Amino acid sequence: MPEGDTVWQAARRLHDALAGQVLTRSDFRVPKYATVDLTGRTVLGTTPRGKHLLTRFEGGLTLHTHLRMEGAWKVYGSAERWKGGPAHQIRAILGTVDRTAVGYRLQVLEFLRTGEEERAVGHLGPDLLGPDWNPDRALANLLADPARPLGEALLDQRNLAGIGNIYKSELCFLIGATPWLPVGALPADRAAILPGLARRLLEANRDRPVRRTTGLRDHDLFVYGRAPRPCLRCQTPILVADQGDGSRERPTYWCPACQTGPAPGPGSRRVRETRPRPSN
């Protein structure tokens, strides 16, 4: 699952390349939209909404895309070689005289009337990088199901939009709670700072090529991807286990000494990493 800052950067690349330009090429390689031709239309812009991308065109039409785990939008110059993947992975092409945006492995691609975008994104909670950000509402959403594990609540885009698996693990470390702690058991002072801390992390990284949460020169992340290396604070080995509802389990990292709360239950699949993973 991509992080909100990754999607924000993708939206900015698309907007900078296409906004205000007339399309000279459009190609949508999904059966439902294979005959759609936007050639001659002006691109009004691209905006992110949580992890969703909304590209708007004149005439009141919006292209809604979502990267999911493996999708990507790449922008190329007119004479540049496309290097985002093999041709069979291309799902969308939007070209102008000077630039071409190519969508690879897009798991969601649909057209909406611009006035009906809420059908696609209206379920989302406050956007951590958006104009609708509301920390009080985000906190209320998180606490609405007090028995839910903190990590799962943070990943639920209906609570607040933009957190992926990396920020989930890092945020839990920074507030000193395991991702399996029921969100209602989080001390009130730590719960109160959680939405603001999440926003600051994403804002700090939205313009960076390398994501950093530590403020340390030699280490980008505190726990994510670092099992079984020692914790940067206490030297206890970082642990990793799957967290989720069974159908969407994700590797989750934590320090058993720095973070208080329950560990994974007996039914959870423990993962032991024998080789360090990249921290970014």
- Let me know if 3 is a catalytic residue: yes
- Let me know if 2 is a catalytic residue: yes
Q: Are 147 and 180 in contact (CB under 8 A)?
A: no
Distance CA 176, CA 193 (A): 12
Identified catalytic residue from 250, 256, 273, 277: 250
Residue with tokens 């199901």: 145
Q: What angle do CA 197, 213, 9 make, to 5 degrees?
A: 85
Asked whether the bond before 228 is cis by omega within 30 degrees of 0, the reply is yes
Distance CA 42, CA 22 (A): 4
- Let me know if 91 is a catalytic residue: no
Q: Are 2 and 164 in contact (CB under 8 A)?
A: yes
Distance CA 55, CA 197 (A): 29
Identified catalytic residue from 51, 91, 99, 206: 51
C-beta pairs of 133-138 under 8 Å, 24+ apart in sequence: 133/199, 135/195, 135/196, 135/199, 138/195, 138/198
For the record, the structure tokens of 147 come out as: 């028995």
- Let me know if 276 is a catalytic residue: no
| Residues with Cβ within 8 Å of residue 181, at least 6 apart in sequence | 149, 150, 172, 260, 261, 262
* Catalytic positions: 2-3, 51, 250
